[in-house]
Amino acid sequence: MIKKISSPGRICLFGEHQDYLGLPVIAMAISLRSYIKGKKRNDRQVIIHKPDIDETESFSLDDLTYTKYRDYFKSGIKVCMDEGLNFSNGFECEVTSEIPFQAGTSSSSAITVSWIHFLSQMADDPAEWDQQRIGELAYRAEVKEFNEPGGMMDQYSAAMGKLIFLESEPEISIRSINPKLGPFVLGDSREPKDTMQILQRCRDARLKIIARLKMNNPDFNLHSYDLDSVSTGLSDEELKLMKGTIQNRDLLKKALWELEKDELNHEKIGDLLTEHHSVLRDVLDVSTPKIEAMLDAALNSGAMGGKINGSGGGGCMFAYSPNDPEKVAAAIERVGGKAYIIHPDVGTRIE
């Protein structure tokens, strides 16, 4: 029997470059999705067709040794087997996606979430995992298995859908938010980016500062501390990084308060997005001239706010455009971006 699974991409509204520090995020699943369609085979082979990139991958269930960087299809099977699933038969499937590739909208995580969901249905005894469990297993397959520097926002957002408020400390806590947001316009700069290098640069410098602060002050807590009380001994550059981190932490708190109101202040939400972007641009240095041109074009065409999305250094931006998204999309395309009008969307599902 053929099974078809889909999962959404995501944008990070607030908390960009914060989740791997243990700080919360607000993410939104978007109406661009990845799809996996397939069925069981009569042998032990796994064959994965990828028509979007004109590639086919194949291997045997009897040899799940990793043979390439980020070997997520094999790691997904391993994680599912660790959870007690058995696979007597291989399977053949096709993977397609509407999500911009390697552009900061979690195309790979959406595929991994779809893959875990697909595997749960291909097992000898299919598993009825809920969306949060699928997100957890996708995070293990992508991040934990390969010791990568990313957080868990991508996997949980693609699995659970809509808007989520995700806290990872002191333990994982995920709350769905259902505000009456209007449409957004996603703009793909089509500039290549080095996600791992940017994540490591932005993460590692701050983790070293935080470790030193904790050594000097055992009561230090990134979730609540006042920058003025711990600034002694930090260089100007370190102080700038920590100030930006705290500014983004507090922006998220303001945004959460706004998003949970019965009546949304759309202009305020737009302003908070733009302020968040200014920190990402001026402190973490993850924007580019083209991204700035796209944001300027969007704001000048009526968008209420916007920011770079994902790790940065290229990839995508988005603009909050509840009133006239078509006009904003056209403005982004005039400066060389590829525009998509998007809305909040549901999480992983069987089609």
pLDDT digits (tens, 9 = 90+) for 281-301: 999 999 999 999 999 999 999
Domain boundaries, position 54: 3-179
Whole-number Å distance between alpha carbons of 146 and 258: 37
Q: Which residue has the tokens 């994982």?
A: 172
Whole-number Å distance between alpha carbons of 73 and 46: 9
The answer to whether residue 351 sits within a structural domain is: no
Query: Are 106 and 10 in the same domain?
Result: yes
Percent of the chain whose pLDDT exceeds 90: 74
Query: Are 28 and 141 in the same domain?
Result: yes
Whole-number Å distance between alpha carbons of 139 and 152: 6
Whole-number Å distance between alpha carbons of 239 and 236: 5
Q: Structure tokens of 232?
A: 């002694």
Query: Are 62 and 197 in the same domain?
Result: no
The stretch 54-65 carries a mean pLDDT of 96
Give the rounded distance of the alpha carbon of 280 from its chain centre: 16
Half-sphere exposure of 207 (CA within 13 A, CB side): 13
The stretch 110-114 carries a mean pLDDT of 97
Query: Are 228 and 323 in the same domain?
Result: yes
Whole-number Å distance between alpha carbons of 211 and 207: 6
Give the rounded distance of the alpha carbon of 158 from its chain centre: 8
pLDDT > 90? residue 227: no
The answer to whether residue 54 sits within a structural domain is: yes
User: CATH number for the domain including 304?
Assistant: 3.30.70.890
In the chain, how many H helices and how many E strands?
9, 12
**Helices assigned H by DSSP within the chain:** 72-82, 107-122, 131-139, 153-160, 195-216, 236-259, 266-282, 289-300, 325-334
Angle at 181 between CA 175 and CA 182, to 5 degrees: 150
Domain boundary among 129, 160, 179: 179
Query: Are 226 and 164 in the same domain?
Result: no
Half-sphere exposure of 105 (CA within 13 A, CB side): 27
Query: Are 159 and 225 in the same domain?
Result: no
Is the entire prediction scored with pTM above 0.95?
A: no
Query: Are 172 and 236 in the same domain?
Result: no
The pLDDT assigned to 232 comes to: 65
The answer to whether residue 223 sits within a structural domain is: yes
CA end-to-end span of the chain, whole Å? 13
Please write the tens of the pLDDT for every residue from 191-212. 887 777 787 788 888 999 888 8
Q: Structure tokens of 75?
A: 């790691």
Domain boundary among 179, 201, 233: 179
The answer to whether residue 93 sits within a structural domain is: yes
CA distances from 38 to 48, 50, 115, 120 (A): 9, 12, 11, 13
The answer to whether residue 207 sits within a structural domain is: yes
Give the rounded distance of the alpha carbon of 104 from its chain centre: 7
Kindly report the average pLDDT of the chain as a whole number.
Answer: 93
Query: Are 244 and 336 in the same domain?
Result: yes
The pLDDT assigned to 104 comes to: 81
The answer to whether residue 306 sits within a structural domain is: yes
Query: Are 125 and 196 in the same domain?
Result: no
Query: Are 281 and 133 in the same domain?
Result: no
Lowest mean pLDDT among 22-36, 84-98, 193-207, 258-272: 193-207
Domain boundary among 179, 201, 221: 179
pLDDT > 70? residue 55: yes
Q: Structure tokens of 282?
A: 């001026």
Q: How many Å is the maximal CA-CA distance in the chain?
A: 66
The answer to whether residue 350 sits within a structural domain is: no
Task: Report the domain count for the chain.
Answer: 2
The pLDDT assigned to 149 comes to: 64
CA distances from 302 to 107, 135, 162, 319 (A): 28, 35, 24, 10
The answer to whether residue 168 sits within a structural domain is: yes
Query: Are 69 and 169 in the same domain?
Result: yes
User: CATH number for the domain including 21?
Assistant: 3.30.230.10
Peptide bond into 170 cis (omega under 30): yes
Query: Are 84 and 189 in the same domain?
Result: no
